[in-house]
Amino acid sequence: MILITGAGGQLGRCFQKLAPDYPELKFLFATSSDLDITSRRAVNAFFKKNNITWVLNCAAYTAVDKAESEPARARAVNVTGAANLAHACAETGAGMVHFSTDYVYHNRQNTPFREDDATSPKGVYARTKLAGEKAVQRMLPGAMIVRTSWVYAREGANFVNTMVRLGNERPELRVVFDQIGTPTYAPDMAEAVLHLVQKVEKDELAQEKLEGIWHYSNEGVCSWYDFACAVMEIAGLNCRVLPIESREYPTPALRPPFSVLNKGKIKEAFGLTIPHWRESLKRSLQDDQD
């Protein structure tokens, strides 16, 4: 049984939509009301009740700015919750895929980050996500940790949906141009992970090959300004997008100025083909119109 935590979030919902495409895999979808991952007792009881063989941990406190005023809540989910799941997996022999973030990188560099590059998280969200990674690795050294960036899906609160809504409401928007990264279409990442889990289940891939830190985002590079312009263009919205500097749009939490992820490791190890971000954005917005 594959447990999907955070099943009500945008990545969790992507796994729910993909599940029928993997009839040989059995899934159990849990929202925070179904399972309180911040309670080790609750997690252990849940594992005893259900035959969990994998955990795909999509649960996370992702309100980046709000985390600055709610550090205890962010830590409870991103660190304690992740550790509790990893501990249960270690006790039962289950595998685990834990999703993390490009926010762990806040270094001043201009080449895509590799998995072994130094981390330098700024802010509560970034620090708790990195601490969560380390907690998972301590509890379950064989876990797969996937760092990703700029995640969006057709549903949920995300940049693309916000741009579409504002693009329909306003004639003009101002978007930062000095934060560089890569969008990730959540269904692409979910499908890549399920592909790997299925290969392990079919004995076509040794589970230990998944161990460690991996990067996954779509291909290509852009700024948030470029991303917004593409949304308006592809969605056919008549909204002008103007570039601004980050200092003109201050936020409680600092954003990484450059967080492009190098995907060479995951592509070479597993033969994955990753779509370009514009291609996936087109699919997302076109699906929305169907």
Residues with active-site annotation = 125
Beta bridge partners of 185: 152
Residue 150 backbone class (left: φ over 0; alpha: ψ -120 to 50; beta: rest) = left
72 Cβ contact partners less than 8 Å away, ≥ 6 residues apart:
none
Burial of 146: CB neighbours in 10 Å, binned 0-12, 13-18, 19+:
buried
Residue 240, classed as helix, strand or coil, is: strand
173 Cβ contact partners less than 8 Å away, ≥ 6 residues apart:
163, 166, 167, 228, 239, 240, 241, 242
Distance (Å, whole) CA 13 – CA 30: 11
Distance (Å, whole) CA 31 – CA 7: 5
Nearest one of 277, 261, 188 to 227, comparing CA atoms = 277
